[in-house]
Amino acid sequence: MHQKLEKLSLFESATLRLTGWYVLLLMTLSILFSVVLYQIGTSEFNHALAPVHPGEVELFYPGDGTTPLRLQRIGESTNRLVVSLVVFNITVLVGGTIVSYLLARRTLQPIKEAHEAQSRFASDAAHELRTPLAVMQTELEVNLRDKKATARTLRPILASSLEEVSRLRTLTNRLLLLASQQEPVIGLVELEPVVVDAVTHIIPLAQQRQITIDNQVGPSRAKGNAESIADVLGILLDNAIKYSPKRSKVFVTSSETAHDIQLHVRDEGPGIPKLEQGKIFERFYRVDVSRSKDDVAGHGLGLSLARRMVEEMNGKITVRSDGQSGATFTVSLPK
């Protein structure tokens, strides 16, 4: 039985186990109820068909002529009661099993979905890690075997491996953050220094691509977590720089409504097609356009992580783009 259960999927075996527990509980109650009913029934029969009172005539069962008729009646009634109780219990068993199975499936459905999402995440993550690791391994092995290799020829290989290692570090950091269950501590955050920090951090990358970052965020406060806001801005700025042409501009601005503060990151890149705008926040999703997939390094985790962090701060992240000239990402946080 145990081995058979192992062959079923985790979800199916858990459903069967839970069904088993439900049925066991139901049958225990049903049998207990039947025993009590049997006791009451037989005692009522005995009471109703009590021994003959003085003056009453004892009648005998015509079948054998020796068994008193009342005892015969008690026996028949008891038999009928037992049959009814057995039928009742079989009905409870069959009906209860079906209802319990459906109930168990329903109970376990959210767990099944969470489990499936987790295994999909793990396999996608492993897939993302495997390809660059395999490329790096081959490259290093080939060069290690090359007897004529010199420091000069090996240097570019090492540099490319180092670049790959740094990408893998970003990837593993993002995976760890996505897997973590820790909720950020929320408080009132001064946005200006956080934005300045995030911009300063990304300037070397912007300089490599000769991109200017125009930060226009003035003093303002929002409810959130400084570290998370800086991480979100880091992701948005990183994308704005990655997907924009060289020598373009990235703008960081803010605005406010009655209850919220908005931070906007706008670039002059290719923009994001309308149809893709809902999907880019999904894990591992990358827009299937050669300009973003082949030329720009990434794993499709940045925006899903950004959205998760913004939602943990009770905020919202949206994108606006006509799909041609630039994209504007807006992070909205409560005041």
Smallest distance, ligand ADP to C-beta of residue 111, A? 28
Smallest distance, ligand ADP to C-beta of residue 218, A? 23
Smallest distance, ligand ADP to C-beta of residue 272, A? 5
**Binding region for ligand ADP (CB under 6 A) out of 156-164, 202-210, 256-264, 268-276:** 268-276
Between 34 and 304, CB nearer to ligand ADP? 304
Between 105 and 279, CB nearer to ligand ADP? 279
**Binding region for ligand ADP (CB under 6 A) out of 59-67, 145-153, 205-213, 239-247:** 239-247
Per-residue contact string for residues 305-334; x = within reach of ligand ADP by CB under 6 A: ----------------------x-------
What is 126-168 written as a DSSP string?
HHHHHHHHHHHHHHHHHHHH-TT--HHHHHHHHHHHHHHHHHH
Residues 16-35 that bind ligand ADP (CB under 6 A): none
Does the footprint of ligand ADP cover residue 273 (CB under 6 A)?
A: no
Does the footprint of ligand ADP cover residue 269 (CB under 6 A)?
A: yes
Nearest alpha-carbon partner for 243 in 284, 204, 272, 200 = 272
Nearest alpha-carbon partner for 230 in 182, 280, 184 = 184
Between 76 and 295, CB nearer to ligand ADP? 295
Give the integer Cα–Cα distance in Å for 86 and 84: 5
* Sequence-ordered strand ranges (E) for the chain: 187-190, 212-215, 221-224, 249-256, 260-267, 316-320, 328-334
Choose which of 128, 231, 267, 268 interacts with ligand ADP (CB under 6 A): 267
Helix (H, G, I), strand (E, B) or coil at 320: strand
User: How far from chain centre, in Å, is Cα 197?
Assistant: 32
Q: What are the structure tokens assigned to 4, written together?
A: 């058979």
What is 211-258 written as a DSSP string?
-EEEE---S-EEEE-HHHHHHHHHHHHHHHHHTSPTT-EEEEEEEE-S
Residue nearest ligand ADP (C-beta atom): 298
Between 85 and 280, CB nearer to ligand ADP? 280
* Sequence-ordered strand ranges (E) for 34-185: none
Per-residue contact string for residues 288-307; x = within reach of ligand ADP by CB under 6 A: ----x-----xxxxxxx---
Choose which of 178, 287, 320, 334 interacts with ligand ADP (CB under 6 A): 287
Name the site residues for ligand ADP (rule: CB under 6 A).
239-240, 243, 267, 269-270, 272, 280, 285-287, 292, 298-304, 327
